[in-house]
Amino acid sequence: MTRTLLALLFCLAYLSSCTREQPKLSLQQLDIVRLQQSWLKVEVLSDSMIVPWDLETDSQGFLWVAEQEGKVSRINLSTAEKKVMLVISDVWQQRTSGLLGMAVHPDFANNPFVYLNYTVKKDSLISSRLFRYKLDKDSLTDPILLLEIEGGTSHNGSRLAFGPDGKIYWATGDTHDFTYAQNSEKLNGKILRMNPDGSIPSDNPDPGSLVWAKGFRNMQGLTFSDSGLLYTSEHGDAIEDEVNLIIAGGNYGWPIIEGMHDLDPEKVFAGENQTIEPIRSWTPVIAPAGIAFYGEKTIPEWTNTLLLTTLKGKSLRILQLSQDGKTILDEEILFENHYGRLRDVTVGPKGEIYLSTSNKDWNPQPGFPLPGDDKILKISLTDQVVPSPLEAIKPAEPLTLNGEQLYLNYCASCHKANGTGLSEVFPTLAGSTLVKGNVNPLIQLVLKGKNQMPAFGFLSNREAAEILTYIRQNWGNQASEITSAQVEENR
């Protein structure tokens, strides 16, 4: 054997060993989580973003991230390298408008298309646009407008998802015009179903309409199960945030019905319109956001669950489904108040899970944003076994709450824990003449609502009195207490 051949073989062997011994992806580890059988680690995949609203994985090993301000990035899940693929100049961002829904084609190798929904404003007209983009090397190009509907400063939804039938589903919000959700001539407050080119499928409930289901307020999550069931998460008004199982042609009741069909007017409307109840609702509200079906075996405790991120609840909810997927049997809560507001969740190619925080959005909570926010968090199995304060826990049994606790449950997400509110959106309660003045207008406002203030008439007389007394006697306010009898007089 010649010296040259020996040298060549040595080089090949060396290169082969280098390939085998490439270092593993190293990420900043934050926490260890103990489940019944498994131990999970939480790591930071990417940080310093601005409200990463939507996360999607493609079939090529990448995570796509849509930030609310109009930026789309792609993260290599093997190296954590992030590249900006698109910056949309005409995105209009205010409160919960902006770049919202995103979907990547399930057969991305042969159909390298990314679908984006975002809000635009021209003069005083706000609209919500759905575009299809094409991947060209390291950029998204060739935008094609598929659909444009009415938009607003909030209640735009919006989520996109491909179904197993190859169709695109778009969850739209009612844009604060509640009548739209039941109006068959409007595409707001609906789930829309379309072909990948934006045309109407011939097998829609109405072959002349994109509407797949109606009667929604403001959906923030949309996901399909392995068996093809479609689920949504939706913000209630003052009560009854929802998870719904979607049936073609179904009516989900809003604005006549909120949550379960338990009030007399709701029962009448339900009987006349065959409306469908949610499979889970929450009061006090938790502000459910992104939702993903977990059908993997990687984390066995979570197989056949819905993973739900929450904004007000600042938690990840694991909703255990029945075998047929039509009911929710159990709920576990992780990370409550730990990472802050959680906006979206998606499942990776190896059964790992990705979450996005939303601590730089329009409604920051006390103590947030944290250093490095907003982040993409990765949850995966680990062999490391240590005691952890972040074990999955069941929801606590309901308690009799005092005024402060009731205020934190129902009011603090808008008016803040210290009563300062949010400038030009939610008025401050500290020093407010309405809060400190005549009790009757204040009680009626809380019970019946006005403009963007929801009605809290579902509160018992005691609960309403406790909350109102609390806000009248805190943050420098020094007003008299309000009694249950005074609340009853104003109903």
Per-residue model confidence (pLDDT) at position 389: 55
pLDDT tens, the chain, 491 aa long: 444 433 333 343 434 444 444 446 779 999 999 998 899 999 999 999 999 999 999 999 999 999 999 999 999 999 999 999 999 999 999 889 999 999 999 999 999 999 999 999 999 999 999 999 999 999 999 999 999 999 998 899 999 999 999 999 999 999 988 999 999 999 999 999 999 999 999 999 999 999 999 999 999 999 999 999 999 999 998 889 999 999 999 999 999 999 999 989 999 999 999 999 999 999 989 999 999 999 999 999 999 999 999 999 899 999 999 999 999 999 999 999 999 999 999 999 999 999 999 999 998 888 899 999 999 999 999 987 765 555 554 444 445 778 888 888 788 878 888 888 877 778 899 889 999 899 998 999 888 888 778 888 888 899 899 999 999 999 999 999 999 999 899 98
Specify the amino acid at residue 300.
P
User: So what's the pLDDT on residue 383?
Assistant: 85
What 3-state DSSP class applies to 128? strand
- pLDDT tens, position by position, 148-207: 999 998 899 999 999 999 999 999 999 988 999 999 999 999 999 999 999 999 999 999
Q: Is beta strand 28-34 parallel, antiparallel or unpaired with respect to 190-194?
A: unpaired
Distance CA 473, CA 434 (A): 13
Q: Which residues contact 471 (CB under 8 A, 6 or more apart)?
A: 407, 411, 419, 429, 435, 477
Q: Residue 258 gets which letter from DSSP?
A: -
pLDDT score, position 480: 92
Please give the model's pTM, rounded to 2 decimal places: 0.87
SS3 state at 301: helix
CA distances from 488 to 235, 385, 402, 446 (A): 28, 55, 19, 12
Question: Left if phi > 0, otherwise alpha if psi is -120 to 50, otherwise beta: which for 451?
Answer: left
| Encoded tokens for 19 | 């390939």
Residues 359, 360, 362, 367, Cα dihedral to 10°: 50
pLDDT at 451: 74
Residue 412: both structure tokens together: 């603090």
